[in-house]
Amino acid sequence: MYFGLNEDQTMLQDSVRRYLEDASELEAVRGFAEGDMSLANNLQDGLLELGVPFVLLPEALNGQILGGLGMGVLEAALIQEQLGRHVAPSGFAATYGMAVIGLREAGDEDWLSQIASGAAVMGVGMTEATGGREGAGLTPKGDKVSGRATFVMGAENATHFLLTTGEQLVVVKRGAAGVSETALTMIDKTRHTVTLDLDNAAAHLVAGNNHAEAQSRMIDAGRVLLAADSLGAAAMMLEKAVDYAKDREQFNRPIASFQAVKHMCAEMAAKLEPCRSLVWYAAYAQDNVPDEAPLMSRLAKSHMSEVGKFVARTSTEVHGGMGFTDLLGLHYWFKRIGANRQLLGGPQAVREEAAKLQGFVA
């Protein structure tokens, strides 16, 4: 039996990588971090041309043709890995990952059709379902909703937000009456995350009755995609460390020839490479091994969070003082990994969930 990516999956990832190598250069990322939205807008258009937003959309639903590619979370994870590798300011994980999966699971063909046509670009707020802050949470009342949703992801180009009230999934329109947003000041400047304050805002209840299952699937997939993003970012930091060690000289020798530096790079590679199989299998399980999917998403998210932190720190150390400067831009990858570590649950909380699923704790 062959365990690996098939030809189509390899071509998909290579296409996204080649596009991002040119489209998401470091100088453009710096511009986005300083408030220039042109890169995010250009990426939205460029990824649309590649068909990336349609990866998880079904080809048809309930007899309605949506025009999606009908692929799985594994293909989405391969794309997200490249977005993390190039610290691209894209809300793909939330907009075309979590949102599509939630709406698909619920069976809401109307909102899926709007996503397919480009009429709706969804940001996603699921933090309150994974351990929200005190005072946060939404309360529905008829077709209105009030309260606060924190750490809403995918706000770069969002026109709507898919949110949870605890038991129900609702959609609110960005900028509508009663919807106010505050940009969160996070360490990661390569993506936009917001807090929404809703005051009797008009809310569209997502169709279907299986909202709890849809929400669970969204969170599982979101955690896998965040792990894939950290995998790509960590892989790039490792490559940068190796390249720098080969070029930087001390005592008329490349520092890559020093045993201590060799050990640092080797340890990063040894810790990171097994994560690729873990993340890919966790993504594969979401569509093909449903009994294992919840556990694997938690294991991938928690383990990749720890390994990503180690690689980010060690890569910076290999670069020495240069690693802390903006000249090399390492901090964009470092901080993105740090943000991924906490979004949708930190490693300690996610490990506890995994332990409960396995009956290790009450």
Q: How does residue 4 score in pLDDT terms, banded at 50, 70 and 90?
A: confident
Question: 172 and 160 in contact (C-beta within 8 Å)?
Answer: yes
Return the pLDDT at 124: 97
Q: How does residue 105 score in pLDDT terms, banded at 50, 70 and 90?
A: very high
Return the pLDDT at 72: 95
171-196 pLDDT, tens digit per residue, is 999 999 999 999 988 899 999 999 99
For the ranges 96-105, 108-117, 126-135, 203-212, which has the lowest average pLDDT? 126-135
Distances (CA, A) of 24 to 39, 60, 88, 95, 253: 7, 32, 6, 19, 33
The DSSP element (H or E) to which 198 belongs, if any, is strand 194-202
Q: How many CB atoms lie within 10 A of CB 129?
A: 19
Return the pLDDT at 172: 97
Return the pLDDT at 237: 97
Describe the crossing of helices 293-318 and 330-342 by its angle, rounded to 10 degrees: 150
Return the pLDDT at 63: 73
Question: 259 and 334 in contact (C-beta within 8 Å)?
Answer: no
Given a cut of 90, whether residue 306 has pLDDT beyond it is yes
Question: Percent of the chain beyond pLDDT 70?
Answer: 99
Pairwise CA distance, residues 60 & 98, whole Å: 18
Return the pLDDT at 2: 66
Q: How does residue 1 score in pLDDT terms, banded at 50, 70 and 90?
A: low
Mean pLDDT calculated for residue range 30-38: 94
Domains of the chain: 212-357 (1.20.140.10)
Q: For residue 38, what are its two tokens?
A: 């042109």
Pairwise CA distance, residues 137 & 334, whole Å: 30
10-24 pLDDT, tens digit per residue, is 999 999 999 999 999
Q: How does residue 310 score in pLDDT terms, banded at 50, 70 and 90?
A: very high
The DSSP element (H or E) to which 277 belongs, if any, is helix 259-288
The DSSP element (H or E) to which 238 belongs, if any, is helix 211-247
Given a cut of 90, whether residue 335 has pLDDT beyond it is yes
Return the pLDDT at 134: 78
Question: 128 and 157 in contact (C-beta within 8 Å)?
Answer: no
Pairwise CA distance, residues 60 & 336, whole Å: 35
The owner of tokens 């943000």 is: 339
Q: What is the DSSP letter of 274?
A: H
Mean pLDDT calculated for residue range 189-205: 95
- For 86, the 3-state DSSP assignment is coil
221-277 pLDDT, tens digit per residue, is 999 999 999 999 999 999 999 999 998 888 889 888 899 999 999 999 999 999 999
Q: For residue 271, what are its two tokens?
A: 């810790």
State which amino acid sits at residue 286.
Q
Tell me the sheet residues that pair with 254.
249
Mean pLDDT calculated for residue range 328-334: 95
The mean of the pLDDT values for the chain is: 93
136-150 pLDDT, tens digit per residue, is 899 999 899 999 999
